[in-house]
Amino acid sequence: MSRDDRAEGAPASRPPSIDRMARWPALAPLIERAGRPLVVEALRAWVEARRSSGDVADPAACAAWCAQRLAPLASPSLKRVFNLTGTVLHTNLGRALMAEEAIEAAVTAMRSPAALEYDLDGGARGERDDHIAPWLRRLTGAEAATAVNNNAAAVLLALSALAAGREVIVSRGELIEIGGAFRIPDIMARAGCRLVEVGTTNRTHLKDYAAAIGPETAAIMKVHPSNYAVQGFTKTVSAAELVPLAREKGLPVIEDLGSGTLVDLESWGLPHEPTAREAIAAGIDIVTFSGDKLLGGPQAGLLVGRQALIERIAKNPMKRALRLDKVRLAALEATLRLYADPEKLARRLPTVRMLARTPEDIRAQAERLQPVLTQALGGDWQVGIDAVRGQIGSGALPVDLLHSFALAVTGRGLDRLADALRRLPIPVVGRIRDGVLLLDLRTLDDEAAFVAQLPELAPGSVA
Ligand SMILES: *Cc1c(COP(=O)(O)O)cnc(C)c1O
């Protein structure tokens, strides 16, 4: 006789055992859905919660209570959202959306074995960088290329491989901090390099670099000021000026381009953002940039430059710790292949497609959606259309410049509405500015899904 069975004969005030409750037919569907361990955990909480009131042995009430408790675990924590913030590459919302070609390649790599480090021609061991290096060489004009986890890792690895234990010269105007605790002085310290600051915040001259070079200097570094602009009385030293000095002293120049595009954004009416090809052409020895910013691919850090330096970087033990997995390599390769045909980029690469959208196109969408949202909100709020300025995001072109249109909601209790939008099945993230809730439509791709869930905002349901 088990302890369970004895419990059954106990006085009515004794709660049934957890094991016994887990066998209640009322709980069977939940166990099927959520699995026994989670249901047992919920049952313990149920007994605890009902300890004082005593009415534990009510299977229907118990099943409903447990189902509600476990509901959050059934939906993913990393949820799909609508990014209507006006920032196209929003770091907190996952940056670049990938092209269908990249998604397909990633899914195939997830599902099947892949020739990741295997040379199918010779049947010998291959290199994982071989899948992307030829594309990066072709697209940037560099001699060699490699890739790691993200651009922060690329900078860390380049510094560590080329300058550990020695000095690296950086202009004070370029000692950046970007979100998520990436600060050049800290990265420098982690890489084991000694930072030598030159110039001032607003002005650095070539002679400042020249005066700082000494026997301990291992490299000169340039950093693209991604998320701010120094304006007014300023002077920076261009790569074209810096490279001859570095050559004369036998030093490599490393440049962290941040977003680093592979194509000229001017083709889509956007201001110029430095390309990796330009940096290589200017003589920069190692250029690093992100895979999931303007490039529009998966999170990655790309390093392109001189063969001998890339080899040193690739052989560094840290490379092994920072390398890319097959899923991201597959997506990256597929994304880079799209750049072979730049004219079709705006159609195939979501990042470029969104950046290239014309204000007229976005305004037309706003006009379509204004009555739909107005009806969904049922008179509690007013919906207008505002001309707004969005951002590329992720440090590219930091000043607001993307002319766009937003659904502009006004009325009392905007925070409440913003909450309700974030609680929709596909949460909608906008921004509140000067008492207006703005839903910037530049990045609304899936209009049908957006509209389909609006009825859930019905008046009265926005608590
Ligand atoms: C974004 C950025 C980084 C970090 O890149 P991640 O890919 O996010 O690691 C480093 N440097 C600059 C200048 C940047 O803009």
The mean per-residue pLDDT over the stretch 443-451 comes to: 97
In angstroms, what is the span from residue 295 Cα to ligand 1's centroid? 13
In angstroms, what is the span from residue 369 Cα to ligand 1's centroid? 35
* Claim to verify: residue 229 and residue 112 sit in the same structural domain: yes
Contact predicate 275/264, CB 8 Å: yes
Domain count, the chain: 3
Quick check: 370 pLDDT over 80? Answer: yes
Type of residue at 229: A
Q: Ligand 1 pocket: which residues have CB below 6 Å?
A: 150-152, 176, 178, 182, 223-224, 226, 256, 258-259, 290, 301, 394-395
**pLDDT at site 462:** 63
Per-residue model confidence as pLDDT tens digits over 183-228 = 999 999 999 999 999 999 889 999 999 999 999 999 999 999 877 7
Per-residue model confidence as pLDDT tens digits over 30-62 = 999 999 999 999 999 999 998 888 788 899 999
Per-residue model confidence as pLDDT tens digits over 118-142 = 999 998 998 999 999 999 999 999 9
Give the 3-state secondary structure of 386-437.
Answer: EEEEEECECCECCCCCEEEEEEEEECCCHHHHHHHHHCCCCCEECEEECCEE
What is the spatial distance between Cα 122 and Cα 120, in angstroms, rounded to a whole number?
Answer: 6
* Claim to verify: residue 277 and residue 323 sit in the same structural domain: yes
* Claim to verify: residue 325 and residue 375 sit in the same structural domain: no
Which tokens go with 93?
A: 């919302």
* Claim to verify: residue 328 and residue 191 sit in the same structural domain: yes
Instruction: Give Cα separations from 287 to 137, 156, 245, 257, 317 (angstroms).
Output: 12, 13, 18, 7, 20
Residue 462 lies in a domain: no
* Claim to verify: residue 224 and residue 315 sit in the same structural domain: yes
In angstroms, what is the span from residue 386 Cα to ligand 1's centroid? 32
**pLDDT at site 273:** 84
**pLDDT at site 396:** 65
The residue among 315, 319, 226, 245 whose CA lies nearest residue 284 is 245
Per-residue model confidence as pLDDT tens digits over 89-118 = 999 999 999 999 999 999 999 999 999 999
Nearest CA to ligand 1 atom 2: 258
In angstroms, what is the span from residue 272 Cα to ligand 1's centroid? 18
Residue 292 lies in a domain: yes
* Claim to verify: residue 190 and residue 318 sit in the same structural domain: yes
Lowest mean pLDDT of 48-57, 418-427, 434-443, 444-453, name the range: 48-57
The reported pTM is 0.92
* Claim to verify: residue 250 and residue 289 sit in the same structural domain: yes
Quick check: 3 pLDDT over 60? Answer: no
In angstroms, what is the span from residue 127 Cα to ligand 1's centroid? 26
* Claim to verify: residue 388 and residue 290 sit in the same structural domain: no
* Claim to verify: residue 87 and residue 113 sit in the same structural domain: no
What is the spatial distance between Cα 86 and Cα 96, in angstroms, rounded to a whole number?
Answer: 14
Which tokens go with 59?
A: 């299977």
Nearest CA to ligand 1 atom 12: 258
* Claim to verify: residue 370 and residue 337 sit in the same structural domain: no
**pLDDT at site 13:** 61
The mean per-residue pLDDT over the stretch 266-289 comes to: 92
Q: How confident is the model at residue 12 (pLDDT cuts 50, 70, 90)?
A: low
Per-residue model confidence as pLDDT tens digits over 225-261 = 877 777 888 888 999 999 999 999 999 999 999 988 8
* Claim to verify: residue 287 and residue 361 sit in the same structural domain: no
Nearest CA to ligand 1 atom 7: 151
Can you tell me whether residue 195 is helix, strand or coil?
strand
What number of CA atoms fall less than 13 Å from residue 33's CA on the CB side?
15
With residue 40 as reference, give the H or E element that holds it.
Answer: helix 36-49
> Probe ligand 1: pick from 256, 287, 394, max atoms within 8 Å of CB?
256
Segments forming the whole domain that contains residue 193: 100-345
In angstroms, what is the span from residue 296 Cα to ligand 1's centroid? 14
Residue 158 lies in a domain: yes
Domain ends where: 305, 325, 345?
345
* Claim to verify: residue 294 and residue 221 sit in the same structural domain: yes
